Amino acid sequence: MGKDSVSYKCPCCGAPLSFLPGHDKVSCEYCGNEFEVKTVEDLYAKQESLAAKAEAAKESGGWKTDEAGSEWGEQETTGLKTFTCESCGAEIVADENTIATECCYCGNPTMLPQRFSGMLKPDYVIPFKKTKEEAVTALKAFYKGKKLLPDVFTANNRMESIQGLYVPFWLFDSKVDGAAEFKTQRSLVYDDGDDTVTETSFYDCQRSGVAEFAKIPVDGSTKMDDTYMESIEPYDYTEMQPFTTAFLPGYLAEKYDVNAEDSIGRADERVDSSMLELLSGTLENYESQELTNSYVNKLDGQVKYALAPVWILTTKYEDTNYTFMMNGQTGKFVGKLPVDKGKLQKYRIMSFVGASAVVFALLYGILG
Amino acid sequence: MKKLFKIMLLTLTLCLTMTTAWAAKAQEVADGAGVLTPVQKTKITQQIQDMYKKHQIGIAFVSIKEDIKVKEGEFANGLLDKIYNNGAKGNMVFLVNTKSRKWYVATDKKVKAMISDKYGIESLGQKIVPALKKNDYNAACENFLKGTDELLTYYEKNGKPMAEEGTSPIILLGGALVAGALAAFGYGSYLKSSMNNVVPAAEASYYMVKDSFALENSMDTFLYTTFTRVPKAKESDKTVTDSSSDDDHGGGGGGY
């Protein structure tokens, strides 16, 4: 039977290969051999092709198993697919967007190459530079100094999971032509006899200009919270590589499920906001400004598709899931922590009493 | 050098212009300008002596009609240092210069602790100046003595100089509680915000190509101007406009 998944294994010892963060080669952690990305790519290109064909064949026919088990509902099976681990033979269940995963039984990194078909091949990949250990260290650092963190949260805290994931991103390049109209004012205050006169002059200010933006990221996965993804920006694009699957072993990887067309709106919002900020920044010597009219036109927009590395850490506290994310390249760490309401009340009361006493003493000294 | 010259000038001025005062050394009333009648002078002298019996504070009224080279305050301080310095619990001089139409109340270090420059001398000025403006020097003297008696009595009773009535402690407490509530709310909000650093990116400035922004058109058109007139805060009705107060002297004065 043909293989429907491909495990990247060391040609020397047969152990799983991994792309280690910060390295430029694919490594075997067992025998220590390192292989050029291109070598691994060539080595497994054929296997990936065969695996894709095998999966297609498997879907077209096979054993009649109608009697075994009951029927899954259509909604239950939508988006779920099973694959056979090439290493241990176990069945791996993955959703429709998974393109790289690991076997839940033997931990073998597994590529699902048939998932590449019918979708755009990423143009770029930003390799992982931060390790799982660094992600855990960053989480501990994130806890530090958080006065409202429940003691139980840190004392009994166990990570439900820590996953390295390549998230699909659309990168928008755009030359922008923008214009804006502002109503501004400036004031002059002077004494005239027994009066203080405030002379306020109003102006209509028109500005237009051009600017160029490069690789504004918008995540292409509905599973990933857009706010989290924007919070871990920016990525250092100088380290971005032309896409190859050789960077994927050892991590999960998703293909996009929000296409570039549907992601334009978010990129446009950010470009518009920046362009108007640039134009308003040219208003000099005015005390206040109010935007009354504007347009921003994208002249020459281009979109690229890339996979970006993210460490996702999840934990549970009082039946609520807490998710933290770390930029797998820069280490920027973001998340929401639970708030101990008792501690919040305590600090509020302390600050209330302290501030009241200090202010009363000051007021009494000055006015009493 | 400048200070030495100033001291010499003050001494010379005192010698030349205060012949009346020298002649009346230790007299409570030295009316060099002749603004009091003999009867008034006797009455004021008696009142000053009564005040001394009551408070053991040496008080003098001095009037001059001279162009003096120093400020009235420095002149009055000199009188305190050179002549009127025998009061058991302190000394003070009420000086009037009818030539310059300036008045000054000088206090020594001890009386300065009993009659504050900020409130005490100003309250005396409020009582003195209206009479001086009418050239009623006798009334000015009587008002000065009456006001001084009130201030000294208050000090003797309360152990601190009379001062402006402060804001009610209840109002202060109310203000402090409001400030405390705002601080508690602000600090709580700050602590809560520190628990979450997930924020959406509102703009794309980081991704702007360096130096790619070019302003192509910039036009500012004047529309109109508005004027707002607000009457200036009136000068306060304070009577004390000059002070030669230092470590050893208190007091203050002004014109009339």
pLDDT tens for the 256 residues of chain B, in order: 455 545 554 554 554 444 444 444 468 899 999 999 999 999 999 999 999 999 999 999 999 998 888 899 999 999 999 999 889 999 999 999 999 999 999 999 999 999 998 889 999 999 999 999 999 999 999 999 999 999 999 999 988 888 867 678 888 899 999 999 999 999 999 999 999 999 988 889 899 999 999 999 999 999 999 999 998 766 567 888 888 888 889 999 998 8
> Confidence band (pLDDT; 50, 70, 90) for A14?
confident
As a CATH number, domain B2-163+239-255 is 3.10.310.50
Q: Rounded to the nearest 5°, which phi and psi values hold at A117? A: -75, 150
- pLDDT category at A118 given cuts 50, 70, 90 is low
A253 — pLDDT class (breaks 50, 70, 90): confident
Q: Are A183 and A207 in contact (CB under 8 A)?
A: no
The rounded distance, in Å, linking the Cα atoms of B231 and B215 is 44
CA distance B150 to chain A (A): 22
Query: What pTM does this model have?
Result: 0.61
Q: Which residues of A touch B166 (CB under 8 A)?
A: 364, 367-368
CB contact under 8 A, A209 and B215: yes
ipTM score assigned to the predicted complex: 0.71
The structural domains of chain A, with segments of one domain joined by +, span 6-61+74-118, 132-145+156-241+256-337, 339-368
Alpha-carbon gap: A167 to the closest alpha carbon of chain B (Å):
17
In whole angstroms, give the CA distance from residue B155 to residue B166. 17
Cβ B212 vs Cβ A214: under 8 Å: no
Return the domain boundaries, chain B.
2-163+239-255
Helix (H) or strand (E) holding A270: helix A260-280
List CB contacts (< 8 A) between B197 and chain A. Answer: 231, 334-335
Confidence grade of residue A61 (pLDDT, cut at 50, 70, 90):
very low
Mean pLDDT of A82-107: 67
* Distance from the A47 Cα atom to the nearest Cα atom in chain B, whole angstroms: 39
pLDDT > 60? residue A362: yes
Compare A296 and A8 and report the one with higher pLDDT. Answer: A296
By C-alpha distance, the chain A residue nearest B188 is: A348
Give residue A105's pLDDT: 61
Looking at per-residue pLDDT, the higher value among A59 and B209 belongs to B209
Distance CA A181, CA A280 (A): 9
Residue among A205, A212, A351 whose CB faces B220 most closely: A205
In degrees rounded to 5, what are phi and psi of residue B25? -50, 135
- Is the pLDDT at A354 greater than 50, yes or no? yes
Contact B170, A343 (CB under 8 A): no
Q: Does the pLDDT at position A334 exceed 70?
A: yes
